[in-house]
A and B are shown apart, each in its own frame.
Chain A
């Protein structure tokens, strides 16, 4: 507020802000340092902050015990696969809503948003039974389909808000030049909307990566993603806090990094373009 603040107020606010931010970050920070401790040191009283004996053993143990790499690969397949599939369905839909709107466009958009409000538990049992009968339980492609459907409304909404900002004249000029619709979308619209499509992609990969309802209920060993991988650590045996921390760190690190890069686009995506 007070733009010409004195140095004292600035110091005061800085200290306060850093204290709060570090408190909020402390569970993650604690997980990071604990991941490099020995099991004995991880539960020692009084606790140490930085590891006294720095070890990488926990990461190897986690890989041996629960096969991190397989689960991470499944997570990548499902989150990237579902997002790409979603984009293929959503780009034409968003194009027609943004550039050839009808009276009903707004209603359709609101209806799509409302499908997000249907609680997953409301359809869990039929989906579970359908998956069982079609042998889709515990498969990567089955999970990818579900994830596509869950995130499709968000993908369409995000693309729609980005497409709306592209001047319609440019598309019309291309059309006058005799460009086919397909060419218009692929060669004119998509290149102009690359930043928007990229942030849509990023946000949806993050959402799919962290989705923990369907991944836990529909998979077990074979197609388990990282959310299922980490849930297997919920009933621990013996000394485990350091291993749990290592597993947690491995599960969140990739998306934490992606998230830091995409935080600006995140607001717009998560609010369906309502806050920019």
Chain B
């Protein structure tokens, strides 16, 4: 069907999507790069002119940047670890013959549909509040001192909330992958006398490898940009203890009105995301072709 006419048509049909995405990618990004080399503050109109690498030196040289970078890696890594391991466990569990599988699936998937600010607020107030949160009550019942989670373990608390939101996603995808494993294969392994551990190690895990890669890829895209959970719980604090790169840019650019420095932070965030993306695309590409 590859006549010249259809080919021209195909290009025309694709054009709107390609053009809007191209503009959406190129224009703001070019502006961010431009601003990042300017002295530009919304509160101080006297600050103008070319800044050279000044904004970058200011942003990267500040201790808050190193901390935000470390926090970003801990946040992404921590959540991935919890969701992939927990998701594998849950998927295996839900794949067993159990009563009420349909309802269970619904219960397990639900946190994924909870919008980030709600997830953060119900954990912050209903669960982690030292005075009247569920965990506070539990600690008191056990005779322990209630923990003020967001003051004492701010980043850990954010990780818990985000992991709670993404565990259902990992579970659902791994479960779908698991259920596509053919019955014959499992039974054959069972008849050959493979025990549960070996069946998991040599049959189930390799089968799920692709799904696990995809879970990691997609979650990383979203986890690098975690914002609302931090905004409504700790506000990035105390100090910079729970500020990630995304929140640091927001803090510098929008809250402190320093467009130049905020943009420099934004460019750095894009570079980090690209480094991660290249690795992930390569890993996924390998897995997808196989």
7 cross-chain CB contacts under 8 A: A3-B187, A24-B111, A26-B134, A122-B29, A126-B263, A212-B116, A267-B176
Give the complex CA separation of A25 and B122 in angstroms: 12
In contact, A115 and B98 (Cβ under 8 angstroms)? no
Chain A, 247-273, CB within 8 A of any chain B CB = 248, 251-252, 255-256, 258-260, 263, 266-267, 270-271
Given contacts A2-B190, A122-B273, A216-B231, contact A47 B137 (CB under 8 A): yes
How many chain-A residues does the 8 Å CB contact rule pick out? 100
Give the complex CA separation of A122 and B265 in angstroms: 8
Chain B residues lying within 8 Å of A34, measured Cβ to Cβ, are 126
Chain A residues lying within 8 Å of B227, measured Cβ to Cβ, are 120-121, 212-213, 216
Chain A, 179-235, CB within 8 A of any chain B CB = 181, 206, 209-210, 212-213, 216-217, 226-227, 230-231, 233-234
Q: Does B9 contact A (CB under 8 A)?
A: yes
Give the complex CA separation of A188 and B78 in angstroms: 48
Q: Which of A125, A129, A241 meets B132, CB within 8 Å?
A: A241
Q: Knowing that A125-B266, A156-B17 are A-B contacts, what are 18 other residue pairs whose CB atoms are under 8 Å apart, sorted by A's residue number? A: A1-B95, A17-B93, A17-B96, A22-B107, A27-B164, A28-B111, A43-B131, A45-B132, A47-B134, A92-B13, A100-B7, A108-B18, A119-B266, A124-B266, A125-B249, A126-B28, A127-B28, A241-B132
In contact, A121 and B269 (Cβ under 8 angstroms)? yes
In contact, B115 and A251 (Cβ under 8 angstroms)? yes
Give the complex CA separation of A130 and B173 in angstroms: 38
Which one of A10, A26, A34, A124 has the highest number of Cβ atoms from chain B below 10 Å of its Cβ?
A124
Q: Does B270 contact A (CB under 8 A)?
A: yes
Given contacts A108-B14, A231-B228, A255-B115, contact A1 B199 (CB under 8 A): yes
Chain B residues lying within 8 Å of A209, measured Cβ to Cβ, are 115
Give the complex CA separation of A102 and B1 in angstroms: 11
In contact, B108 and A102 (Cβ under 8 angstroms)? no
Q: Does A52 contact B (CB under 8 A)?
A: no
Q: In the complex, what's the smallest C-beta–C-beta distance from B175 to chain A, in angstroms?
A: 8
Give the complex CA separation of A251 and B118 in angstroms: 8
Give the complex CA separation of A152 and B254 in angstroms: 26
Q: Does B21 contact A (CB under 8 A)?
A: yes
Chain A residues lying within 8 Å of B123, measured Cβ to Cβ, are 27
Give the complex CA separation of A9 and B93 in angstroms: 12
Q: Does A69 contact B (CB under 8 A)?
A: no
In contact, A234 and B117 (Cβ under 8 angstroms)? yes
The 4 closest A-B pairs by CB, nearest first: A123-B28, A126-B31, A96-B10, A100-B10
Chain B residues lying within 8 Å of A93, measured Cβ to Cβ, are 13-14, 16-18
In contact, A123 and B16 (Cβ under 8 angstroms)? no
Given contacts A251-B115, A259-B109, contact A121 B225 (CB under 8 A): yes
In contact, A275 and B225 (Cβ under 8 angstroms)? no
Given contacts A96-B11, A210-B115, contact A149 B20 (CB under 8 A): yes
In contact, B228 and A152 (Cβ under 8 angstroms)? no
Q: In the complex, what's the smallest C-beta–C-beta distance from A103 to chain B, in angstroms?
A: 11
Interface string of B266-290 (1 = CB under 8 A from A): 1101101110110001000000100
Give the segment of B43-51, B57-65, B151-159, B210-218 that binds chain A: B210-218
Chain A, 41-96, CB within 8 A of any chain B CB = 42-47, 89-90, 92-93, 95-96
In contact, B228 and A212 (Cβ under 8 angstroms)? yes
In contact, B35 and A125 (Cβ under 8 angstroms)? yes
Interface string of A129-160 (1 = CB under 8 A from B): 11000000000000000000100110010000
Chain B, 1-42, CB within 8 A of any chain A CB = 1-2, 6-7, 9-11, 13-14, 16-18, 20-21, 24-25, 27-29, 31-32, 35
Chain B residues lying within 8 Å of A2, measured Cβ to Cβ, are 190
Chain B, 77-105, CB within 8 A of any chain A CB = 90, 93-100, 104-105
Q: Does B259 contact A (CB under 8 A)?
A: yes
Give the complex CA separation of A267 and B270 in angstroms: 27
Chain A residues lying within 8 Å of B140, measured Cβ to Cβ, are 45
Given contacts A126-B35, A241-B126, A248-B118, contact A168 B1 (CB under 8 A): yes
Q: Which of B108, B225, B277 meets A25, CB within 8 Å?
A: B108
